[in-house]
Amino acid sequence: MKITVNTEEKERLDVFLVKNTELSSLGLSRSQIKNLIKAGNITLNGEVVKAKGTVALNDQIEVSLPTEKDETPLPEDIPLEVLYEDEDLLIINKPPGLVVHPANGNESGTLVNAALFHCNGQLSTVGGIERPGIVHRLDKDTSGAMVVAKTDRAHTSLVEQFSERKTEKIYLAVGQSHPAKVEDTITVNIGRHPVNRQKMAVLEPPNGKESITKYKVLCHEEKTDSSLILCHLHTGRTHQIRVHMAHIGCPLIGDPIYANPSRQKAKTGRLMLHAWHLSVTH
């Protein structure tokens, strides 16, 4: 799109474009126009300038709108360890480091891409084109059992089971040090950290949502001062086990968000959290 400045009044480039009828018909906000200028998609007299650059009569502005990305994930030949499979379900042992579904920064190489290849594209469509088959998720660095829906009927049933807490999820975790109690149930509210929005945190009610984890210490190793802990989830909040273990003074080994792996005696190169047991009703 080419625009000729037809006013003698000198204005900022972004201000002029906000008023332009051709661009306004596309519904672009001033912030979006600024981002286009910053990305070099808008030039003034053939040159990339800043949003505060001034336009004058007969200046030539060229706008190049980026094409929309196709959000449909593609099948990719990524090996999967299959624990169970039939015409409705696929249950895999997700390796650490594998992102569950495409998102910004991870448009490919995800579990969705692998499942599409493995199932010849036959996954449920209830979750939308970006997350076919996905009814629950594991953090990127968490390993273990994940169920994927191959049919819409299975997807609907599984989502209902997870939301109504009819599933059973038991994890194995390795924590730094050891909890004060060998066995206990942690019940606290969890929500977004008030300062670091990448983290979750324990919050005082009514803030956050209730989260419940029943745990049992299976053993403790003195050499690395680490404990093997069985965690039974009764709710499924984001980072729940990681937040709960840090809350009781036993942050997980290899956790870059809620611990400091460089100061931990046990060196593993990964987050020590594994979805060991998953029970659903077929």
Integer angstrom CA distances of residue 239 from 59, 104, 248: 53, 20, 15
Helix (H) or strand (E) holding 158: helix 152-163
Beta strand segments in 129-223, E: 143-149, 168-176, 183-192, 200-203, 209-221
Q: How far is CA 191 from CA 196, 198, 209, in A?
A: 11, 11, 6
Placement of tokens 């084109």 in the chain: 129
Catalytic residue list contains 14:
no
The Cα angle at residue 121 between residues 116 and 125, in degrees rounded to 5 = 95
| Phi and psi angles of residue 61, each rounded to the nearest 5 degrees, phi first | -110, 130
The helix (H) or strand (E) run that includes residue 82 is strand 82-85
The catalytically annotated residue of 14, 59, 139, 141 is 139
Q: What is the DSSP letter of 262?
A: G
Indicate which residues carry an active-site annotation: 139
